[in-house]
Chain A
Amino acid sequence: MRFNSTWKINWLLPALVFVMVGITDVSAQTKASDKEWAAIVDAAKKEGKVVVAGSPDPVMRNDVIPKFTARYGIPVEFIAGRSSEITGRVKTERAAGIYSVDVFLAGPDTTAAVLYGEKLIDPLKPVLVMPEVADGAKWKHGKIWFADPEERFVVRPFSSVATMLFINADNVKPDEMRSAKDLLNPKWRGKISAEDPNAIGSGSNAAARFYHDLGEEFVRKLYVEQKTVRTRERRQMTDWLARGTQPICLNCREDDVRPLIKDGFKLVEIFELVDMPPSINGSPWLLSLANKAPNPKAAQLFANWILAKEGLEAYARGYGSATLRADIDESFLNPANLPKKNVKYFDDTDWKWVVSGRQEYREKVWQVLKTGK
């Protein structure tokens, strides 16, 4: 068979265009037409409710749920609790054939290890069809950021520069805290507080990061020699910081500290240290959709809405986190929270780090703390 140039023009080029469009379609979100979207909304209303599991967050309770219900008239049943409690419960329910949750808003450890690791979730990508969600132009990275290795199951809608530590400027001058090694100054012995690094949580996460970046000796000096005061109660750390009892706090939370700053306390957030790259994280949650969801259309509607401008902005304003949407006015944020271009950040929500790296370094930290040597 001979292939002449006319054939090439008539068949090969259209085929090439078709393949190119096909490839593009695989990576881009499919947008629903107005009619299709209206059908999804109707079906969701018929299901009558959506069950969302997440952290007991006042923003969710006071801002996000009322907005969603006002928009679509669909009540949200919010199952709130520690991630490990909720997933323990969900797994037990499923073992008995009960599927009660539609949407998960969970932290990276739970999402990676349990929801994704134990296949409790469905692909989210095919159901994100709301035009303002599916439109890549609405996102800072040109598309929705799927955090899982398959890039289909878990959406990361937030990315903020994380505070590395907090100081009370009445007791510690910002100039005295330029590098992580400044924490080892004997002057600060007994003056640093941290969430207990012996337990799973932000305390051991930060310690793992110190170990990763600065090594075992630094961790030993910081947590053992410096007699860092440990607690399991986040409010206790914030109070100590404000009172100046422990004027350096490694694991205080921005949303706890900022009201105190408004009250006139001279508390300073430190985002960069010269000997450690700054970090970003996906706090407060990653989004995923339960498989065998009891209200699949309502789940789809909620997932789309929470990623749309209205839902995500409500959360971002309440929580003080930077979103990945490009169409949200972020003037309400501390500019230091917004990731800068051309800066290399350590990503604390990076899937690989969460799944393996962090746990490996946590174990090393625990070994150091046990031996104290």
Chain B
Amino acid sequence: MEPRIVQFFMKASSEIVLPKPSRFRLRPIRLAEFSFLIFLAVAMGLPLLFLLTGSFNLAAPGKPALYGFDNWSRAFTDAGTLNALGMSFLLSVVRLIPAIILSVIFAWLIARTDMPGGKFIESLCWIAYFVPDFPLVLAWILLLDPNFGFLNALAKNLPFVDGALFNPYSFWGIVWVHTSTGGIWFKVMLLVPVFRRLGATLEEAARVAGANAATMLWRITLPVLAPMILAVSVLSFIRGLQSFNTELLLGTPAGIYVYSTKIYDYLQHEPRAYGEATALGSVFLVVLGLLLFFYWKYLRGDKKFTVVSGQGYSTLKVKLGRWRYAALGGCLLYIAVMMLLPLTFLVIGSFMRRYGFFHIAAPFTLNHWRAMLSDPIFLVALKNSLIIASITAAGGILLYSALAYLLVSRRTICAPLLESLCWIPHVLPGILLSLGVLWLFLATPLRFIFYGSVWGIACALILADSPVTTQAFKAGLLQLGADLEESARVSGASWAYTYRRILLPLLAPIAAAVGLMNFGGALTNISTPVLLYSHQSRPLAILLMEYSFTGELERAAALGLLMTLIVGAMMLVGRKLGLKLAGSD
């Protein structure tokens, strides 16, 4: 057990004061529950309701509402829609399976084994996650293009290769590039803290019973960590269904269209066809409903996921023996191929007059960095982004750790409703979420605070972060035994004191992870602030969008790298802070 927590219990055991019985003990919990319910219903439910109602409105803009099903039938009778939906499912499943397996192995090796350099590998995963994907996809094109790709040119020197070996403009090309841009990094970031929290007691018992490392992983570790692995799988699957940029760059030339492209197309109409886009977006709601049903069904019953209790806790790691360096080599090789290789091209690209054109005269320049740093908008946008990201990270931790606590406390009467509401932002395409939040802000008297300000953008991003943050805290809390809290309460500690001295230190690594993830996400998220920013509150992500939109790709690459550097610096600070709070630094 953590040293500070042991000290607390030693002190508490000598000064046990039984609390006075009270009829109203549960009132604060109930109050919190209903407050959350109202908040989530307004913040998450209302935008969805606005969108769904709007999708049935057939009237021309500015005309009185006229309701019907035409938008829905038009959206779903389009011949390409079902094909695109099928392709999205196929791509999402094909990407998810290897990515989940690899990320579980990575997280296990980092957190539960004596593989050397685990923290270094974890840091590389963090950095990889925040590298902007658009220039990275272009880097893969430079590497894999059948006509001019660097790797294809190398492969042609092999005696048995005739023609292009790789082709990014294909189904498997898309899968490959996705594995590089978003495949395992996000999952490793969420899984490592819960793997770390896993006590070694069960594994030691298995070892005594003669199980080897693989058996322990399969029979002990995975079942105990099932809530987080399932949550990450659901998050990733839906994220995969909504994936869009990579498919747009690599799929369109090959005639591969995905479902999100169809939604995007409706949003490009003049005027925008929000009705049809919402109708198509509703499929994500149905998929989420099904996945959540099975998720809850799995977690229900007498299953226990507790790994941290007041009855002894060991964090001894699994010994890999001679395989430890092989494991490290495997991790490094994967990261080198999937991230460092394209990242190198991205860094070089930001210093090139034209990204990927090495044969022009004087191909290298500092102009893009110079122009970006001297752009008068840049400093304002940087300041806005740092404020927005900080509010988003802190707000998300405070709000969703409390919500997750309510969800796992088993004392709430409407947990499924609360949880369903907090999943909504994950199933709404970003631009539709932005529109819903815009309607919400404009409909409240607080619009003068929220609309067009950094506060409004931060609030919208906090809402958008609710599924990931809540699920991460929930999985962390499910690992904690109820006896920790009960002992503290029996010892006379208030809920706030227990939360601060017991739960928060144990949750600190998860808080640091999701806080950093939300910080980085707030820096790079484009679709959420796109309808909410004003001239004064323009963040870096919008500047990045403007550079990309106008074809200033090299400047976009420079800005993307700078944003990655900021996240990298915050990661170092955040990890220190997380470990310090956890009392293990």
Contacts and interface: CB of A to CB of B under 8 A. Distances in A.
Given A98-B442, A98-B451, A201 B268 contact: yes
A314 B550 CA distance: 18
A81 B547 CA distance: 11
A89 interface: yes
Contact of A89 (B80, B248, B438, B549): B438
Interface string A90-120: 0111011010100000000110011000110
Contacts of B551: 234-235, 238, 253, 256
B60 to A, nearest CB: 8
A236 B249 contact: yes
A33 interface: no
Given A96-B442, A370-B79, A239 B253 contact: no
Contact of A61 (B148, B270, B271, B377): B377
B410 interface: no
B360 A263 contact: yes
Nearest to A80: B546
Given A85-B530, A85-B531, A264-B360, A232 B272 contact: no
A172 interface: no
A261 to B, nearest CB: 12
Interface residues of A, number: 56
A180 interface: no
Nearest to B271: A114
Interface stretch (A38-46, A50-58, A158-166, A210-218): A50-58
Contacts, number: 122
The listed residue with most B CB atoms (<10 A of its CB), out of A58, A198, A233, is A233
A140 to B, nearest CB: 28
B25 interface: no
Contact of A263 (B253, B269, B271, B354): B354
A82 B62 contact: no
B147 interface: yes
B2 interface: no
B534 A79 contact: yes
Given A84-B270, A92-B442, A113-B271, A242 B357 contact: yes
Interface string A199-220: 1110000000000000000000
Contacts of A118: 61-62, 271
A340 B43 CA distance: 58
Contacts of A242: 357
B442 A200 contact: no
A245 interface: yes
A92 B265 contact: no
Contacts of A82: 268, 549
Given A98-B451, A243-B148, A87 B271 contact: yes
B148 A78 contact: no
A83 interface: yes
Given A61-B377, A119-B62, A88 B442 contact: no
A196 B255 CA distance: 10
B253 A81 contact: no
Contacts of B549: 55-56, 82
Interface string B545-560: 1100111110000000
A266 interface: no
B361 interface: yes
A78 B546 CA distance: 12
A77 interface: yes
A232 B552 contact: no
Contacts of A61: 375, 377, 546
Contacts of B248: 232-233
Interface string A220-234: 000000000111111
B552 to A, nearest CB: 7
Interface string B252-266: 110101000000010
B268 A200 contact: yes
Contact of B550 (A56, A87, A119, A198): A56
B287 to A, nearest CB: 25
A245 B535 contact: no
B101 interface: no
B267 interface: yes
A196 B442 CA distance: 36
Given A118-B61, A230-B253, A245 B148 contact: yes
A373 B365 CA distance: 49
A163 B253 CA distance: 23
B313 to A, nearest CB: 52
Contacts of B138: 235
Contact of A56 (B62, B147, B447, B545): B545
30 contacts: A55-B549, A61-B377, A77-B534, A77-B535, A80-B546, A82-B549, A85-B431, A85-B530, A87-B270, A87-B272, A88-B531, A91-B61, A93-B442, A100-B534, A113-B271, A118-B61, A119-B62, A199-B265, A201-B268, A230-B252, A234-B551, A235-B551, A235-B553, A239-B356, A242-B357, A245-B147, A256-B551, A263-B360, A264-B361, A370-B79
The list of the 5 closest CB pairs from A to B, nearest first, reads A96-B442, A77-B535, A56-B546, A113-B270, A200-B268
Interface of A: 51, 55-58, 61, 77-85, 87-89, 91-93, 95-96, 98, 100, 109-110, 113-114, 118-119, 196, 198-201, 229-236, 238-239, 242-243, 245, 253, 256, 259-260, 263-264, 370
Given A79-B534, A81-B530, A92-B531, 13 more contacts: A55-B549, A78-B535, A88-B272, A92-B435, A95-B442, A114-B61, A198-B265, A200-B265, A236-B249, A259-B354, A260-B354, A263-B353, A264-B360
